[in-house]
């Protein structure tokens, strides 16, 4: 049985300092991680220099596959440009391979033609910034009904329109893929897969939120196993990164055991 290329997003254990998070990944035999810029009291938000993060990763034999994330990336203005520049520089200096790009998710910027134009403007501006730093931009459509970028097809069209095929990739998030209800997947354009499960049958799909996202187990309603199988059958061979947001996952006493259980569950079914 081929070992699947699992990765760990720091959202799996947001209470752990970066060093402990890297050690946890290492103890699970996982060498790829995503770090975040939205965890208070943690790198990046606490001002830890990028070179210190790089040294910590190196000491633990860890590859930082992404920084998660530049928020509202498709609302391009001088503030976004400044933030993008800082995050891209941090990614380069800490050894991260990519920067996740998250769209506006508050009900604005959704009008037809407006949202496509906004997306292309942002991608065109980000392209030279990412290229000069050697960083990949990971575009992540979100399935929420209020999101300004729900469609992978729309994302791919915009990437091609700005000639960004070698600079940008998609994030296939199993939760958001389910919510968006768009059957299309673009394995050849996919650079990262985020995995999380939902087990609460009482919640309508349109009412699902990040707080419902748990580790994938036998009660998963999102068909993570089916989604992963399909992506891999179609040629995707990249990382499968755990990204559960639920408070009950964050509060678990033995995260290593919980993650191992989820790894085993997926591994035995793929």
Convert the pLDDT of each residue in 90-130 to its tens digit.
999 999 999 999 999 999 999 999 999 999 999 999 999 99
Cis peptide before 44 (omega within 30 of 0): yes
Task: Delineate the domains of the chain, giving CATH numbers in brackets.
Answer: 6-269 (3.20.20.150)
For the four alpha carbons of 23, 44, 98 and 249, in that order, the dihedral sign comes to positive
- Averaged pLDDT for residues 83-87: 98
Q: How confident is the model at residue 43 (pLDDT cuts 50, 70, 90)?
A: confident
- Averaged pLDDT for residues 54-75: 98
Residues 161, 145: Cα–Cα separation, whole Å: 25
Task: Say if CB 141 and CB 170 are below 8 A apart.
Answer: yes
**Residues written for the chain:** 270
* Mean pLDDT taken over the chain: 97
Hey, how many other C-beta atoms are within 10 angstroms of the C-beta on 89? 14
**Residue-wise pLDDT tens digits, 153-178:** 999 999 999 999 999 999 999 999 99
**What percent of the residues of the chain are helix, what percent strand, and what percent coil, each to the nearest 5?**
45, 15, 40
- Averaged pLDDT for residues 47-65: 97
- Averaged pLDDT for residues 38-44: 91
Q: How confident is the model at residue 2 (pLDDT cuts 50, 70, 90)?
A: low
Residues 33, 195: Cα–Cα separation, whole Å: 13
């Amino acid at each position: 049985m081929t070992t699947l290329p699992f990765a760990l997003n720091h959202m799996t254990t947001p209470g752990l300092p970066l060093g402990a998070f890297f050690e946890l990944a290492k103890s699970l035999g996982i060498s790829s991680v995503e770090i975040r810029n939205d965890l208070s009291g943690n790198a990046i938000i606490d001002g830890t220099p990028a070179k210190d993060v790089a040294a910590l990763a190196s000491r633990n034999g860890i590859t930082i596959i992404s920084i998660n994330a530049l928020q509202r990336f498709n609302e391009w203005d001088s503030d976004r440009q400044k933030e993008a520049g800082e995050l891209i520089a941090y990614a380069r200096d800490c050894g991260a391979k990519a920067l996740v790009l998250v769209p506006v998710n508050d009900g604005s910027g959704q009008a037809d033609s407006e949202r496509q134009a906004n997306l292309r403007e942002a991608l065109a501006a980000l392209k030279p910034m990412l290229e000069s730093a050697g960083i990949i931009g990971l575009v992540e459509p979100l399935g929420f009904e209020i999101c300004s970028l729900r469609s992978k097809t729309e994302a791919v069209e915009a990437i091609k329109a700005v000639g960004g095929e070698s600079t940008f990739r998609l994030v296939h998030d199993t939760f958001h893929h389910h919510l968006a209800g768009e059957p299309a997947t673009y394995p050849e354009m996919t650079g990262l897969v985020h995995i999380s499960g939902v087990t609460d049958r009482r919640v309508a799909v349109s009412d699902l939120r990040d707080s419902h996202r748990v580790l994938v187990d036998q009660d998963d309603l999102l068909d993570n196993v089916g989604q992963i199988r399909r992506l891999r059958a179609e040629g995707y061979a990249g990382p499968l990164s755990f990204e559960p947001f639920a408070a009950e996952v964050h509060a678990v006493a033995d995260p290593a055991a919980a993650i191992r259980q989820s790894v085993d569950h997926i591994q035995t079914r793929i």
